[in-house]
Amino acid sequence: MLLLMQLIFILLAIISHEYEAQAAFEPPYSSVVVPVNKHIDAVKPLYSVQILTAYINSQYLHANFLIDLDAPFIWHDCILQWNTFEGSCPNNTLCTYPVSCEEYQCTDVRTIYSYQSPSCPPVTNDSTIPDWGYCTCPVNVVNPITGSCSQALLNYDEFTVNTSDGRNVFTDLYGAYPNAACAPSSTFQSFPANVTGVMALSSSPYALPAYLYDPLKRIVALCLPSNLSAPGILLYGTGPYNLLPHSNVDVRSLLSYTPLIKHPDSFGYFINVSSIVIKTRSIDIPTNSTTKLSTIEPYTTLRTDIYNGVVRRFLKVTQRIPPAKPVAPFGLCFNTSINGTQVSIKVPDVDFSLQDGKKWTVSTANSIKQITKDVACLAFVDGGATSEPAIVIGTFQCEDNFLVFDLENSTFGFSSSLLRKQTSCSNFNFTLTNSS
Ligand SMILES: *[C@@H]1O[C@H](CO)[C@@H](O)[C@H](O)[C@H]1NC(C)=O
Ligand SMILES: *[C@@H]1O[C@H](CO)[C@@H](O)[C@H](O)[C@H]1NC(C)=O
Ligand SMILES: *[C@@H]1O[C@H](CO)[C@@H](O)[C@H](O)[C@H]1NC(C)=O
Ligand SMILES: *[C@@H]1O[C@H](CO)[C@@H](O)[C@H](O)[C@H]1NC(C)=O
Ligand SMILES: *[C@@H]1O[C@H](CO)[C@@H](O)[C@H](O)[C@H]1NC(C)=O
Ligand SMILES: *[C@@H]1O[C@H](CO)[C@@H](O)[C@H](O)[C@H]1NC(C)=O
Ligand SMILES: *[C@@H]1O[C@H](CO)[C@@H](O)[C@H](O)[C@H]1NC(C)=O
Ligand SMILES: *[C@@H]1O[C@H](CO)[C@@H](O)[C@H](O)[C@H]1NC(C)=O
Ligand SMILES: *[C@@H]1O[C@H](CO)[C@@H](O)[C@H](O)[C@H]1NC(C)=O
Ligand SMILES: *[C@@H]1O[C@H](CO)[C@@H](O)[C@H](O)[C@H]1NC(C)=O
Ligand SMILES: *[C@@H]1O[C@H](CO)[C@@H](O)[C@H](O)[C@H]1NC(C)=O
């Protein structure tokens, strides 16, 4: 057992040594890339990344993980095949290796980097694994869709992703070795079909960004697709980032940046919105109101005082559009049918004013949701009088916007709608090429 652990450490040392050697050579890749799919078969629209999680009989198996900017660690539905002693792992199979209850990772994930939910019972140690002599590490996981709590076991895992130069997908693969927990299959019933894991992209040291090393830089670029049949992308690493048809334009040239704000009780991402501007009139955001970015909430949620200000102003600037009876959860809807045929409506931009005069422009594609042929609604919802954070920016507002979480500089980059630049999140060239 001990021998195997030593072997793993030696292997890891060799791997990191190889990376160092590569760094001197300037690797052909600047990032790793995974496709992002949109799902509409769960209670709300959700997005997943596809990762190669297992290598069995010389073949990589794909698994889809829900994208979660808040999760403290990664967990998924995995086959528990303890790699506890030499020869216990079948040939041609990738086995997980348990974290023991005595290791610091176990304590970390149970205490500081744990899910904080009153619905979770206190965790206890599992029984000792025969032939191994240690107890395993049960941890609580909270389903981001339903909020219900379950138990999972923390392991040493292995994920594989493709590398990229920001323009194409390379056949060269990159391995990551995160601690991730295995949860029972039943935990994923409320998830979209074929999505069987949670990919933590937060700033926690147990989220994916913490497990990708030099020469990759700690920069997450996320582009959520609106299209169900053409994937968006998640790139990890520096740019360039290129989208068709302008494959010579680096998307970074379209980005504005604002600081990421630290929040004591969360591993998620926050920015500082000072006002919301609609056709030159601004709705002020009270100071100390926090704005969070979410990949789970479908629509931007505003505290009631802010929501009322936005709706009042929006109503005023859309007077020429016939109203329709509001459809929950929205409070302001429009009639988009004239003589029985659907017409497309165009509304003024909703600008989120940030520090230093930067603004995130939400144009019609991200502010108006078509509900039926007849009805379209302002896709903002009232979060209640005391909602905290005061603003949660949801996924409908992020689709086809290029977003960059730069953990090196602690900044957030955003493009506003790519549709206005004649491209979209579904325009990455996924053609496999050789790096050399
Ligand atoms: C696994 O591989 C080893 C070494 O290549 C071999 O000796 C052993 O018979 C193999 N076991 C199985 C079950 O195929
Ligand atoms: C689990 O066992 C370890 C090692 O014996 C111990 O340090 C830890 O406190 C135990 N945790 C719980 C929740 O019982
Ligand atoms: C990654 O590369 C492998 C091997 O070249 C390929 O089979 C796989 O489809 C690629 N994955 C994606 C998501 O392009
Ligand atoms: C889920 O995966 C199965 C097997 O790969 C496939 O046949 C099915 O179409 C997938 N379902 C969805 C909704 O993607
Ligand atoms: C979605 O993607 C498919 C496949 O690339 C494409 O044919 C279709 O036009 C796209 N739909 C929209 C609305 O862009
Ligand atoms: C904002 O927060 C700071 C620090 O927590 C506090 O000193 C200040 O009074 C707050 N301002 C308002 C308007 O609540
Ligand atoms: C939209 O307006 C038309 C008249 O122009 C009316 O017939 C229809 O019922 C309205 N639909 C809704 C959902 O309000
Ligand atoms: C709706 O239909 C009526 C009667 O056919 C016609 O007079 C009117 O111009 C149409 N309105 C629009 C906006 O097309
Ligand atoms: C947010 O912006 C306001 C005004 O631009 C500034 O006074 C405040 O200090 C900023 N808050 C943080 C946490 O940076
Ligand atoms: C991040 O900081 C480095 C140096 O500290 C700088 O070279 C780089 O341009 C910054 N990146 C962005 C996106 O601002
Ligand atoms: C996608 O990339 C491949 C390989 O670099 C290239 O041959 C192809 O022309 C690109 N596709 C488009 C639409 O530009």
The DSSP bridge pattern shows strands 149-156 and 138-142 to be antiparallel
Note the pLDDT of residue 325. 97
Note the pLDDT of residue 24. 56
Examine the domain organization and report whether 173 and 60 are in the same domain.
yes
Neighbouring residues of 367: CB distance < 8 A, sequence distance ≥ 6: 347, 349, 350, 378, 379, 380, 397
Examine the domain organization and report whether 224 and 269 are in the same domain.
no
Pocket test of ligand 10: the residue of 219, 256, 402, 408 to mutate, having most ligand atoms within 8 Å of its CB, is 408
Please check whether residue 198 lies inside any domain of the structure.
Answer: yes
**Which CA distances in Å does 225 have to 14, 186, 265?**
38, 28, 29
Examine the domain organization and report whether 231 and 261 are in the same domain.
no
Note the pLDDT of residue 94. 60
Q: Is the Cβ atom of 11 under 6 angstroms away from ligand 8?
A: no
Examine the domain organization and report whether 233 and 105 are in the same domain.
yes
Please check whether residue 6 lies inside any domain of the structure.
Answer: no
Element (H, E) at 18: helix 2-25
Please check whether residue 349 lies inside any domain of the structure.
Answer: yes
Rounded to two decimals, what is the model's pTM?
A: 0.89
**Which amino acid makes up residue 226?**
S
Q: Angle 33-37-41 (CA atoms, 0-180°, nearest 5)?
A: 160
Pocket test of ligand 11: the residue of 33, 162, 168 to mutate, having most ligand atoms within 8 Å of its CB, is 168
CATH at 343 = 2.40.70.10
Give the end of a domain, one of 240, 259, 286. 240
Q: Angle 289-295-296 (CA atoms, 0-180°, nearest 5)?
A: 90
Examine the domain organization and report whether 290 and 163 are in the same domain.
no
Whole-angstrom distance, CA of residue 69 vs CA of residue 81: 29
Instruction: Check residue 115 and report its DSSP letter.
Output: -
Give the end of a domain, one of 240, 259, 294. 240
Give the end of a domain, one of 188, 218, 240. 240
Note the pLDDT of residue 126. 76
Examine the domain organization and report whether 36 and 160 are in the same domain.
yes
- Distance of CA 308 from the midpoint of ligand 7 (Å): 25
The domain in which residue 272 lies consists of 251-421
Counted domains in the chain: 2
Pocket test of ligand 11: the residue of 429, 433, 436 to mutate, having most ligand atoms within 8 Å of its CB, is 429
Q: Is the Cβ atom of 124 under 6 angstroms away from ligand 6?
A: no
Note the pLDDT of residue 95. 67
- Which residue in 300, 291, 333, 336 sits closest to 314, CA to CA? 333
Whole-angstrom distance, CA of residue 140 vs CA of residue 124: 10
Note the pLDDT of residue 133. 73
Atom of ligand 11 nearest to the CA of 429: 1
Residue nearest atom 8 in ligand 8 by C-alpha distance: 339
By the 8 A CB rule, do 420 and 365 touch?
A: no
pLDDT under 50: residue ranges of the chain: 1-23
Residue nearest atom 13 in ligand 7 by C-alpha distance: 374
Residue nearest atom 10 in ligand 4 by C-alpha distance: 194
Atom of ligand 11 nearest to the CA of 433: 4
Q: Is the Cβ atom of 127 under 6 angstroms away from ligand 2?
A: no
- Distance of CA 210 from the midpoint of ligand 2 (Å): 25
Examine the domain organization and report whether 392 and 267 are in the same domain.
yes
DSSP string, 250-311: BGGGG-EEEEPBP-TT-SSEEE-EEEEEETTEEEEPPTT--EEE-SS-SSEEE-HHHHHHHH
**Which amino acid makes up residue 386?**
T
Examine the domain organization and report whether 256 and 227 are in the same domain.
no
Examine the domain organization and report whether 255 and 401 are in the same domain.
yes
Whole-angstrom distance, CA of residue 387 vs CA of residue 361: 23
- Which residue in 121, 126, 127, 112 sits closest to 141, CA to CA? 121
Examine the domain organization and report whether 109 and 48 are in the same domain.
yes
Examine the domain organization and report whether 58 and 165 are in the same domain.
yes
- Which residue in 154, 153, 172, 152 sits closest to 164, CA to CA? 172
Classify burial at 110, counting beta carbons within 10 Å of its beta carbon; exposed 0-12, middle 13-18, buried 19 or more.
Answer: middle
Examine the domain organization and report whether 166 and 270 are in the same domain.
no
